[in-house]
Amino acid sequence: MNLEQASRQLEALGNPTRLQLYRTLVRAGPAGLPVGGLQERIGIAASTLSHHLKRLVETGLVTQERQATTLICRAHYPAMDALIGYLADECCADAGCVAVAAAAS
């Protein structure tokens, strides 16, 4: 992952509504949720939901799959893992291994 991609994803998650949507999808697991079910859980207007989902899809954090007339939304777990890894990979890198060694103990 590069700095630009991480920045876009973090910016998308910086909005409280999008973060709530994303957390709801993460909690739903690999099966995801239909848009209607997501709307019921979050309690926002369909147009607002569509706007925020579009942003999460554009950044790669959410995928959508059409099943007949239903649109299923899912958290894209590889993207989530990559973002978390990007943030954790540099943990204490400039501290000289003292904090990393202490955490490993």
Write down the pTM of the prediction. Answer: 0.85
Query: What burial letters (b/e) apply to 5-44, b meaning 16+ CB within 10 Å?
Result: eeeebeebbeeeebeebbebbeebeeebbebeebbeeeeb
Residue 80: CATH number of its domain:
1.10.10.10
User: Tens digit of pLDDT per residue, the chain (105 long)?
Assistant: 899 999 999 999 999 999 999 999 999 999 999 999 999 999 999 999 999 999 999 999 999 999 999 999 999 999 999 999 999 987 887 876 555 555 555
What is the structure's pLDDT at 11? 97
Total structural domains within the chain: 1
Domain containing residue 31: 3-104
